[in-house]
């Protein structure tokens, strides 16, 4: 009995010791150069993990502080990879960013000793997601490079294509052609499957593509399987996207634009009024019909943009740029205040300050622009433009100079 108790005590002690070790281990980079990493990778038969970051990138800092310090992450990455941290705006990071076409941060790249991309990921992710990415990179069948080779070798099984799309989603890679290939491999009756609906909803944004046409014509079938709001959102987004393309092309093809309007009107979606209003809003702005623009944008913001802080802020800023009438600017003030009540963001605060200044409420504007500067600092962003605006406000001069 005593012997069993001793074993139990030792087991508990070892378990606690392992947990303590895991808590203290972080992902280790050291000062390894890419050249040294290649030598080590060849010798140790490991992949190279690259954290491609910039010093001003907020998500990069969050990953370093919240995820790289996790013990489980540290143990896995330190054991299986040669870890290298590269600033994409300094030294070898500049040429690395150019060679591998890195445009967003953070980007995570796994290289073999031939400097081929084996796997990749991008953007901030939690500990679980970051570990999953590492395991996919470590396991040959789930590596991006392995799946790319299968695709280039003309493997077109729908199950593989869906798995490949799921991998591409996590790697910030283009996947439109793979989605098109997926729908070519399945019969139309499978367009209502969960997999197909997910792909239609996320990636089919062309109203002329077969899967969208099928969705439009078989609205009731999809509605019996999936939430009506999500189906309506998809139809509205796709038709509006096409309408915006027509509106932005000179000369505007009114016949084609009216065809889109008719399809929306004839559809059974609950958001048809919203869609038509958004199209009119864009049309009146593009054709500089400002009184109609004010009417439609006001109706759209008041009726449909209540929680869309980005749209409210953007519209308020457009009003600042284009209009001088007090009543119009005061309306924009309400949208700006609403956007700030949802998200207290520096650029939103800057919009609010500009509107106040244009209305002659200079003291209030100075207070708000000062807040924008403090927020920008907290967000890790640049403050020079805001500071220049603040100085102009204090001098009482035009902000457009």
For the chain, what are the domain ranges? 2-138, 140-185, 204-304, 306-395
pLDDT of residue 20: 38
Catalytic, 60? Answer yes
Q: In this structure, what are the phi and psi dihedrals at residue 108, rounded to the nearest 5 degrees?
A: -115, 125
CB 76 within 8 A of CB 28: no
Structure tokens at 165: 């799309």
At residue 86, the 3 state secondary structure works out as strand
47-57 b/e (C-beta count within 10 Å ≥ 16 → b): bbbbbbbbeeb
pLDDT of residue 381: 82
Active-site choice (57, 122, 240, 301): 57
* Cα–Cα dist 299/241, whole Å: 20
* Cα–Cα dist 182/169, whole Å: 15
Active-site choice (60, 122, 240, 301): 60
pLDDT of residue 393: 96
End-to-end CA distance of the chain: 87
Q: Is 90 left (phi over 0), alpha (psi -120 to 50) or beta?
A: beta
* Cα–Cα dist 210/206, whole Å: 9
Return per-residue pLDDT of the chain as tens, 401 residues: 444 444 444 344 334 333 434 446 889 988 788 999 999 999 999 999 999 999 998 899 999 999 999 999 999 999 999 999 999 999 899 999 999 999 899 999 999 999 999 999 999 999 999 999 999 999 999 999 999 999 999 999 999 999 999 999 988 888 999 999 999 999 999 999 999 999 999 999 999 999 999 999 999 999 999 999 999 999 999 999 999 999 999 999 999 999 999 999 998 788 899 999 999 999 999 999 999 999 999 999 999 988 899 999 999 999 999 999 999 999 999 999 999 999 999 999 999 999 999 999 999 999 999 999 999 999 888 899 999 999 999 999 999 87
Q: How far is CA 50 from CA 45, 71, 90, 213, in A?
A: 16, 19, 15, 43
Catalytic, 166? Answer no
* Cα–Cα dist 362/348, whole Å: 17
Which single residue is written with the structure tokens 């001003």? 56
State which CATH number among 1.25.40, 1.25.10, 2.10.25, 2.60.40 fits the domain covering 306-395: 1.25.40
pLDDT of residue 6: 44
pLDDT of residue 24: 60
Nearest in space to 283 (alpha carbons), one of 315, 258, 304: 258
CATH T-level topology, domain 2-138: Glutaredoxin (3.40.30)
């Amino acid at each position: 009995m005593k012997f069993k108790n001793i074993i139990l005590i030792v087991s508990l002690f070892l378990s606690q010791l392992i947990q303590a070790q895991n808590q203290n281990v972080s992902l280790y980079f050291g000062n390894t150069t890419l050249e040294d990493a290649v030598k080590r990778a060849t010798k140790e038969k490991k992949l190279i993990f690259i954290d491609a970051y910039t010093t001003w990138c907020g998500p990069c800092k969050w990953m370093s502080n919240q995820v790289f310090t996790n013990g489980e992450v540290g143990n896995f990455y330190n054991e299986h990879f040669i870890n290298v941290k590269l600033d994409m705006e300094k030294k070898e990071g500049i040429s690395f960013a150019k060679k591998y076409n890195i445009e967003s941060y953070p980007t995570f790249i796994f290289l073999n000793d031939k400097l081929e991309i084996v796997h990749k990921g991008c953007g901030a992710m939690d500990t679980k997601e970051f570990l999953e990415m590492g395991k996919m990179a470590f396991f040959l069948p789930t590596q991006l490079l392995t799946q790319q080779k299968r695709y280039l070798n003309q493997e077109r099984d729908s199950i593989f294509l869906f798995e490949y799309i799921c991998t591409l989603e996590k790697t910030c890679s283009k996947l439109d052609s793979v989605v098109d290939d997926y729908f070519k491999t399945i019969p139309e009756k499978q367009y209502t499957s969960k997999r197909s609906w997910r792909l239609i909803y996320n990636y089919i944004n062309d109203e002329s593509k077969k899967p969208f046409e099928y969705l439009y014509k078989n609205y009731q079938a999809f509605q019996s399987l999936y939430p009506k709001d999500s189906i309506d959102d998809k139809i509205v987004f796709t038709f509006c996207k096409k309408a915006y393309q027509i509106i932005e092309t000179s000369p505007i093809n009114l016949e084609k634009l009216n065809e889109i309007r008719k399809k929306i009107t004839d559809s059974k979606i609950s958001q048809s009024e919203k869609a038509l209003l958004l199209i009119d809003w864009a049309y009146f702005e593009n054709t500089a019909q400002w009184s109609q623009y004010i009417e439609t944008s006001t109706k759209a913001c008041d009726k449909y943009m209540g929680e869309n802080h980005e749209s409210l802020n953007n519209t308020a800023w457009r009003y600042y740029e284009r209009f001088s009438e007090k009543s119009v600017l005061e309306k924009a003030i309400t949208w700006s205040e609403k956007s700030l009540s949802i998200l207290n963001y520096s650029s939103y605060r800057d919009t609010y300050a500009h509107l106040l200044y244009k209305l002659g409420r200079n003291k209030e504007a100075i207070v708000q622009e000062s807040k924008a500067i403090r927020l920008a600092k907290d967000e890790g962003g640049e403050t020079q433009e805001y500071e220049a605006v603040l100085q102009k406000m204090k001098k009482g001069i035009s902000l457009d100079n």
